[in-house]
Structure 1
């Protein structure tokens, strides 16, 4: 899938206009969020047939005349509202800002998790560390602190993570259980949603979740209330500590939106330890959103920008990968890609990997 080719007919005026969008992008973001959160967009939607004057918007929302004026005028420039006969109307783009789940999940994640820390992006690039992370907490990586984030930030982080993974679950379950296995090691199991989904889908499979102690603590609490709790076990570890071995004796290993949290060298190290943890004939299933395997340019764009969350906030050295870069690491770790299944959920790919 080819995206982002050199523009063939872009004029200097078009290029300069786009450059202004980039220069003011932080302002555009905050103005759009304010138009959403203050209720201005919702108010315009309820009067979409007739439109509204500034004074009517002011009266209905309780926002000052000045506040309504500057936000509506900003909305004109960014294409969220338009004006006819001194009355304001909401555009199709504003509808998605107001109602589209993906847009809202992304917007809340950027605001609550990334916005302040991205000020340190350049330092993160130069230093190879997530220099923006201290805006959230004093940890080496964001994963150490997820269980300690304030509730509203936890909500935004997990909604962002789960929106994409949860949509992929049905297709992913059908895909991996075409292969026969009885024991599954779920590395980076997060809240345990996947482990529960697997044990419900296949009543003969047992799952071991492997993750940081804080993450497993949250998962245990949730899973203990389910009917499949007796078929899910736990293995606490810090996967970046190469002196800590992986448990052995598994028919399959699952990693979903996990390896993108690590650098090239770290991914290779993890995969080599997966190699030793597998039984003969076992497989590693890797589900990722590779930016080059997307159907739509907007999806590829979103993933490329998400890479910079990893740079400035998460760990300083990982990203959303191009599939060719990733598959090269898989081969260097001793596996071959037996099958690649694209278009799972909202743009995921599953790599079925086996020992050479």
Structure 2
């Protein structure tokens, strides 16, 4: 707990008039500094270096990373202040979080996600005011006449970066929802992280990842690396262009998909899912759900603004999903809360 007085220190007059401290605003305005400190540390390989060396001082770090001594010391201090490093005598060592997620080669290495944000997401955020004023995305599409998720507009960097976020979210979803031993269709399954994690946790489950052809080529390699090619297949397609979704599945998963699209498109996709499922089949929507009163939570609300930057969508409430699902013909709608980087709940529905 931080016992320091508020900044600036409250005067007796401030206290008498109930003036709130400015700390929350200062934390918000300096948030960019913290994120970019992480970007810089990852870019120079700080956490991987410290893991390999078992820790290092400022001079050793400067020499090992090939950077000047002054920024090496400042970067180490900044990362320690953010609880990414800790001091061990005269040396800095990775915190447990950094050692687990920021060392290259670890199973859930998050560095690709950090790089994806820096090169793909943050530039649009620098123009968020324009997006708010116009209602149009500010992330520049290299090929504006092509689809949002075509290879020209979503480089491999995007899929590499999204994989660890999806994997950690998929792992949490697997514990929260019983997918059983049937067949799962992961619609818009990207790199296959959800299918991999769900199949690892549910040994009787088999899955198909349905996504654009160029994405499926990337996905097949990821599935093979996980040693699950016999249980997870890929089906190239386009869920807005194909006449029907692939059939023969007991469960359909829409994870981090519906926030990309507006309400008419989402209703169209939910109707396609209804047609593709057998009677008794289940639809699972996994997302960062906005509270029904639309006051938060912060991660879902900020992800919604992130959708404004680059897509026609936003993050929706469980109540909104429930309304659309019932209109599509589903019943038994319920929400299962859980915590993960890319979702805080799953909305489940059944086809009668």
Q: TM-score range by the shorter chain?
A: 0.5 to 0.7
Q: CA deviation at 1:163?
A: 2.8
Aligned to 2:5: none
Q: CA deviation at 1:40?
A: 7.0
RMSD: 4.6
Which of 109, 118, 130 is the matching residue for 1:123? 130
Aligned to 2:9: none
Which of 169, 175, 197 is the matching residue for 2:174? 169
Q: Distance in 1 between matches of 2:198 and 2:67?
A: 49
Which of 303, 314, 317 is the matching residue for 1:322? 317
Q: CA deviation at 1:197?
A: 6.3
SS at match of 2:170: helix
Aligned to 1:340: 335
| Structure with more of its chain in helix, by fraction | 1
Matches within 5 A, 1:214-233: 214-221=214-221, 229=230, 232=233
Q: How many residue pairs end up in the alignment?
A: 321
Q: CA deviation at 1:149?
A: 1.9
Q: CA deviation at 1:190?
A: 2.1
Q: CA deviation at 1:271?
A: 0.9
Aligned to 1:296: none
Q: Distance in 1 between matches of 2:224 and 2:134?
A: 42
Asked if the contact 1:330/1:337 (under 8 Å) is kept, the reply is no
Aligned to 1:159: 164
Q: Distance in 2 between matches of 1:38 and 1:342?
A: 37
Which of 21, 32, 40 is the matching residue for 1:26? 32
Matches within 5 A, 1:84-163: 95=95, 98-99=98-99, 101=101, 104=110, 107-134=114-141, 142-145=148-151, 149-150=155-156, 153-163=158-168
Unaligned segments of structure 2, at least 5 residues: 1-14, 102-107
Instruction: Report whether the alignment pairs 1:354 with 2:350.
Output: yes
Q: CA deviation at 1:98?
A: 3.5
1:35–1:331 distance in 2 versus 1, CA, 3 Å: same
**TM-score (structure 2 length as normaliser):** 0.68
Instruction: Report whether the alignment pairs 1:283 with 2:288.
Output: no
Asked if the contact 1:137/1:145 (under 8 Å) is kept, the reply is no
Asked if the contact 1:117/1:312 (under 8 Å) is kept, the reply is yes
